[in-house]
Amino acid sequence: MNISWIEKNTFHYSEFSDLTRLVDEKQRKNLKISLCLPTLNEEETIAKEILIMKSELMTRYPILDEIVVVDSGSTDNTRKIARGYGANVYKATEILPDLVKFKGKGENLWKALFVTQGDIIVYLDADIKNIHHRFVYGLLGPLILFDNIKYVKAFYDRPIAIGKSKIRPTGGGRVTELVIRPLFSLFFPELTQILQPLSGEYAGYREIFENIPFPIGYGVETSMILDIYEKWGLDVFAQVDLDRRIHRNQDTRALGRMSFAILQTFIRRKKKLGLVDYKEKLYNEMIQYNLIKNEFKPDIYKIEEHERPPIIENPEYREKFKRIS
Amino acid sequence: MDNIIDKLPGFVDTIQSVQELIITNIVLIGQTPAPTFKEKRRTSVFMERLAEFQVDECTTDGYRNPIGIVKGTSESKPPIFVVAHLDTIFSKDVDHYYSIQENSITGAGIMDNSVGVGVLVSLPEIFRKLGLRFESDIVLAGVIQSLGKGNLRGIRHLLKTWATPIRGAVCIEGAELGRLNYYADGMIRCEVDCNISHVDGWEHKFKPNAILVLNEVINQIMKLRLPQKPRSRVIIGKTSGGFKHGMIAYDASLGFEIQSNSDKMVKSIFNCIKDIVEGTSHEYEVDLKLKTLSNIHAARLKFNHPLVKSSADVMKKLDLTPVSGPSESELSIFLSRKIPAVTLGITRGENLHQQNASVEIEPISKGIAQVIGVIMAIDSGVCDEHLLD
């Protein structure tokens, strides 16, 4: 196992706080950069994210070329507010409208590839309460400054010791520690060096994203890591400590459903790679129980992780971006 | 002066064009908690942002008040101070993350004083956008330890140790747009603590109740005859005490302020209350302590002082109606040191000291134009010939 990766490819956002240097290097490499915010009812936080990024990374330092919001059909004022603060706003269903329609974060991320112009795309969750422009320039730093890095993931402050005297933040939330890390340890020990594989903030080159499939729901982060690892290896990855991130907490039941979807994705990937074979079909329902008037009643959630193929296989995309399949 | 005033409506549009930057500063400052005495993190953000905008000097004074200086063109003119207090009434455990809607920002401490501080750190960039150069150095100071027990220590220290004369000052508060404060009442802020021994002793046949003892103190304060001239009042502002519903309270405390436009009257009322506290302590045989948390002296500019007149003219040009009242903020310290100063508000809002305080975004540009108009007036010399009485 290549354990030197974590030493070489782990950064702190402050290493990239010289924004003039990032602008110079971006211009020298003639890069376009897009920020994509997938949304569903985020009226409390969306304006702040757009406004701060626009002020700091478009007006003051021309690092971002566009801010795009792809919305899953919010019923609050998310789209109106986002448009008011100057983002390009799309409803996911209106992008490539002839395709079968799905609803989920992965769907928004995949469709964003069609409407954004950037060579690099930064994906940021839209529910970050303590938003700061470091969330974007921290992710962009390794991509702009190091030619071998093609995909960067965020991690946040959870202290753990590495090496003899080094303390670094690491560790993930409950789903990471109870589901993903055991799976990675069992099947892909190298990937355990990615400290928070489920973090919703990451950035990468278009050439990476357009060549991988996107599950439409919770599994998108896991599948992205597995697919990029399989195609390009660990050396194209980097991870950046973005300090603290405050967002909404999810209850244990919701995390259970999330884990179910992630396991589905993981097993599907293992099967595709020929690493495992299952004799029987897997079920696609997550069953949770409630105690109602002294009776246990099941809550059954059908979780089918539909998956979009690599967008480069889509003729309209190839036409628009002049790509050959 | 007319020359300055005529430019102001045009300034509003230019300031509007950097609105995103101003709101970004307000949010980045505001989402960093800064309870009084614990302003260190907010001080760092303040300094980082000022450094970003390339002020000529960016430093802290000996008391850790962060300061940025925009150099003026004249070597001889004294500096103009623009100040906003950094601290808030909210502890760091309170959610400080702001929500921005179409025309509002909501969150703890937004009005008092994230808007004021955010605007203060945006001023260097706004000056640049407007192409403004001043004769005087402009000293942008975020002062710490202002509220409550802070007793305006930050501004007191800053002015005490500032080596050169000061030409004039503008104090910025988030709200309300239209305020024009140019006088400060004399004030003593006090706390009375009542503690009753938990141990049974011969003094009490029946244990007194600390809350009822303080109630007696309040009743006696209410009986004081306060004059209308000089204008005087006692504000009972805070109480706390007790453990649970069914138990006699052993501890209780009462917070109040004595305010008057006469220092002599403040002192006289304070002495009366001291007698009440001592008398009640004796009669009820309880431990009753009167503590002074802070005090400020009454000081004022006259209404016809050129700074007040110019400030009113600036506001009228921007279609604002000046509303005046006493202010116990940084203004009082400037005035007590004979430095002409006014306090101005930046925007309108609601729920001032609640966690869901909210301000309107749209009036902010006008509020800033007004501050710049007053700075320009001071720079043109309106304070130079008129010392305070």
- Residue A208 pLDDT: 97
Q: Does A80 touch chain B (CB under 8 A)?
A: yes
CB contact under 8 A, B97 and A246: yes
> In this predicted structure, what is the pLDDT of residue A242?
92
Tell how strand A237-241 and strand A151-155 pair up.
parallel
Confidence of residue A277 (pLDDT cuts 50, 70, 90): confident
Q: Is A75 within 8 Å of A41 (Cβ atoms)?
A: yes
Q: How many domains does the structure of chain A reveal?
A: 1
A133 half-sphere exposure, CB direction, 13 A CA radius = 28
Chain A, 198-257: which have a CB under 8 Å from a chain B CB? 246
Determine contact: A14 vs chain B, CB below 8 A.
Answer: no
Q: B40 pLDDT exceeds 80? A: yes
Residue B15 tokens read as 């300031």
Does the distance separating the beta carbons of A80 and B101 come in below 8 Å?
no
Residue A260 lies in a domain: no
Q: Is residue A268 part of a domain?
A: no
**Do the domain assignments include residue A67?**
yes
CA distance B278 to B259: 21
Residue B317: what pLDDT? Answer: 95
- Please tell me the distance from the alpha carbon of residue B116 to that of residue B174, in angstroms, as a whole number: 5
A169, part of any domain:
yes
How many whole angstroms separate alpha carbon A276 and alpha carbon A188? 13
Taking the CA of residue B144 and the nearest CA in chain A, the distance in Å comes to: 23
Q: Are A180 and A225 in contact (CB under 8 A)?
A: no
Cα distance from A59 to chain B (closest Cα, Å)? 9
A263 in any annotated domain: no
Across the interface, whether the CB atoms of A48 and B99 are under 8 A apart is answered: yes
Whether residue B230 is preceded by a cis peptide bond, meaning omega within 30 degrees of 0, is yes
For the segment A110-164, what is each residue's pLDDT rounded down to a tens digit?
Answer: 999 999 999 999 999 988 888 999 999 999 999 999 999 999 999 987 544 455 4
% of chain B exceeding 90 in pLDDT: 81
With a cut of 80, say whether residue A165 has pLDDT above it.
Answer: no
A81 in reach of chain B (CB within 8 A): yes
pLDDT, one tens digit per residue, over B4-14 is: 889 999 999 99
CA distance B140 to A2: 52
Of B23, B95, B97, nearest to A51 by CB-CB distance is: B23
3-state secondary structure of A240: strand
In a domain, A35, yes or no: yes
Report whether B168 contacts B339 (CB < 8 A).
yes
Q: Where are the domains of chain B?
A: 2-184+298-379, 186-296
Tell me the pLDDT tens digit for each residue of B58-83. Answer: 999 999 999 999 999 999 999 999 99
Q: Is B206 exposed, middle or buried (0-12, 13-18, 19+ CB in 10 A)?
A: exposed
What is the pLDDT confidence band of residue A247, given thresholds at 50, 70 and 90?
low
Residue of A247, A158, A248, A238 whose CA lies nearest to A203: A238
Nearest CA in chain B to A61: B52
Task: Give residue B26's pLDDT.
Answer: 97
Paired with A214 in beta bridges are A308
> Closest to B102 (Cβ–Cβ): which among A52, A59, A81?
A81
**Where residue B386 falls among pLDDT bands split at 50, 70, 90?**
low
The one-letter amino acid at B364: I
- What pLDDT, on the 0 to 100 scale, is given for residue A28? 97
**Which backbone phi and psi does B57 adopt, to 5 degrees?**
-140, 145
Q: What is the pLDDT of residue A164?
A: 45
Which CATH superfamily is B2-184+298-379 part of? Answer: Zn peptidases (3.40.630.10)
Alpha carbon of A87: minimum distance to chain B alpha carbons (Å): 13
Q: Is residue A101 part of a domain?
A: yes
Q: Which long-range contacts (CB under 8 A, 24 or more apart) does B265-274 make?
A: B265/B186, B265/B227, B265/B230, B265/B232, B266/B186, B266/B187, B266/B188, B266/B232, B266/B295, B266/B298, B267/B188, B269/B224, B269/B226, B269/B232, B269/B234, B270/B188, B270/B190, B272/B224, B273/B190, B273/B221, B273/B224, B273/B234
The CATH number of the structural domain formed by B186-296 is 3.30.70.360
Give the domain range for residue A94: 5-253+304-321
CB contact under 8 A, A43 and B102: no
Q: How confident is the model at residue A250 (pLDDT cuts 50, 70, 90)?
A: confident
Q: Are A258 and A250 in contact (CB under 8 A)?
A: yes
pLDDT above 50: residue A318: yes
Task: Categorize the per-residue pLDDT at B204 as very low, low, confident or very high, splitting at 50, 70 and 90.
Answer: low
Whether residue B55 has pLDDT greater than 50? yes
* In chain A, % of residues over pLDDT 70: 93
Q: How large is the average pLDDT for residues A72-88?
A: 95
Say how many CA atoms lie within 13 Å of A126 toward its Cβ: 30
Would you state the pLDDT for residue A156?
86
Give chain B positions within 8 Å (CB) of A59: 20-21
pLDDT score for B239: 95
Claim: this prediction has a pTM higher than 0.90: no
DSSP per-residue letters across B219-286: HHHHHS---TTTTEEEEEEEEEE-S-TTS--SEEEEEEEEEES-HHHHHHHHHHHHHHHHHHHHHHT-
Backbone angles phi, psi at B127, to 5 degrees: -55, -45
**Cα A275 versus chain centre, distance:** 25
* More confident call, A303 vs B239: B239
CATH number, domain with residue A42: 3.90.550.10
Other residues' Cβ atoms within 10 Å of the Cβ of residue B123: 25
Per-residue DSSP letter, B353:
T
pLDDT of res. B213: 95
In sequence order, what are the residues at sequence separation of 6 or more whose Cβ sits closer than 8 angstroms to the Cβ of residue A195?
A: A10, A155, A169, A170, A171, A172, A239
Q: What is the pLDDT of residue A270?
A: 82
ipTM of the predicted structure? Answer: 0.80
Task: Give per-residue pLDDT as tens, A178-197.
Answer: 999 999 999 999 999 999 99
